[in-house]
Amino acid sequence: MKGLVIVFLWAGLILATPILPAQKIYYPDTKPTVPLKDLPVEEINKIFLEVNIKLKRAELDKLTEEVATKLNGVMLVQQGDIVIEKVVKGYTRLDQKTKDNEITEQTAFDLASVSKQFTAAAVLQLVVKGKLSLKDTLRKFFPELPYNGITIHQLLTHTSGLPEYFNFSEALFDRTKLMSNEDLVEVLAKEKPEIAFLPGHNFIYTNTNYALLVLIVEKVSGMPFEEYAEKNIFKPAGMTHTFYITQREEKIKQKYSIALGHESTKGPLKEHFMDGTIGDKGLYSCMEDLALWKKAFFDAYKILPKAWVKRATSPQNNLVTGKEPSKPYGYGWRLEDNETLGMLVFHGGLWHGFVHVELYDPISDIYILFLSNLRNGAHRGKTNQILQILNGA
């Protein structure tokens, strides 16, 4: 907001403030009836605040319009319970732009790595109930695996040293069907790929960790992970259009709106055999449900007690060497210690044509969500711009 100035004139009061490039006059809702010198400080501050809010809204509207020109998906900006901006635009598949394929607030996207926060929540619920310990080892549940000393805590924080299964030779898997989490365990047990580093000695983001955590939840809870998540996470949060890829065919029959991933506007990508693993990815959800998730997790503490939400969204990936990890990570959440805004809680998702960003600013209670099934850079860098606008002076 540089350059131009707007002037307000009421009963001898003159206010000057910078505005957006568009020459538009913004009036506060509170119109003073006495000269400036006679106004109390509180009323002057209220007037400036009202104008500032309108200026921020105008700048945010402009950014939203810019995003909407390219976005195929949804955008949501909330502060508390107030929806500040919302965009719902595009198609579930771009080669069939029909009304039936229009994206809605209930259209489910493969959340990619945004799925990890739900896996972590399931694990922590079992820890809170005393059914699982963060110090429990991987081999307690999978004695056939050749990896000693790896704990649940290290799986959650990507400090385990396990190899990234995305990098394994595809020849190790049956590519004629969707890969399962159990298939991954079989490959790890049979091939015994070496660890990347000693447990706790480094931080390297690795999807293998969260694919294994799903199976641990199943072993401890005695139920399929999909069932556990529905009963203990989705239902308490009120999420009715959230499911795993293993349930997708059932949801298609039920006429759910489900987005397909795109690298270009020509058409959706073909299914990949690695789409089948869950926990590290594979969770489908929509804008409507994720807004409910934010409220249930961060506000109402329906998923975890407040102390554990704080713990999950604080840096947990400390290394045994004392060395600082490359980036802070909690339990299923990425973190940024912003000099101006404090600790920001977020996660991105990138998988086969899906590209998402979810961010929560605990201090100002701002929640930002972008879900897209087209990798065209429509929302690249926009979360930071939104935060700068809303938290600016």
Do 138 and 283 fall within a single domain?
yes
CB of 367 closer than 8 Å to CB of 390: no
Do 47 and 137 fall within a single domain?
no
Do 48 and 134 fall within a single domain?
no
Q: What is the pLDDT of residue 137?
A: 98
CATH of the domain at 234: 3.40.710.10
Residue that is last in its domain, among 16, 31, 63: 63
Do 22 and 155 fall within a single domain?
no
How many domains is the chain partitioned into structurally? 2
Helix (DSSP H) and strand (DSSP E) numbers for the chain? 12, 11
The whole-chain average pLDDT of the chain stands at 91
* 140 burial level (CB within 10 Å; 0-12, 13-18, 19+): middle
* Domain residue limits at 24: 5-63
Q: Count other Cβ atoms within 10 Å, centred on residue 172.
A: 16
Do 33 and 139 fall within a single domain?
no
Positive or negative, the Cα torsion across 320, 323, 337, 157? negative
Q: What percent of the chain has pLDDT over 70?
A: 91
Q: What is the pLDDT of residue 39?
A: 75
Do 372 and 387 fall within a single domain?
yes
Q: Which residue has the higher pLDDT, 53 or 338?
A: 338
Q: Give 34's pLDDT tier (boundaries 50, 70, 90).
A: confident
Q: Give 37's pLDDT tier (boundaries 50, 70, 90).
A: confident
CA distance between the termini of the chain? 10
Q: Is the entire prediction scored with pTM above 0.85? A: yes
Residues near 306 by beta carbon (within 8 Å), at least 6 away in sequence = none
- pLDDT per residue as tens digits for the range 333-356: 999 999 888 999 999 999 999 999
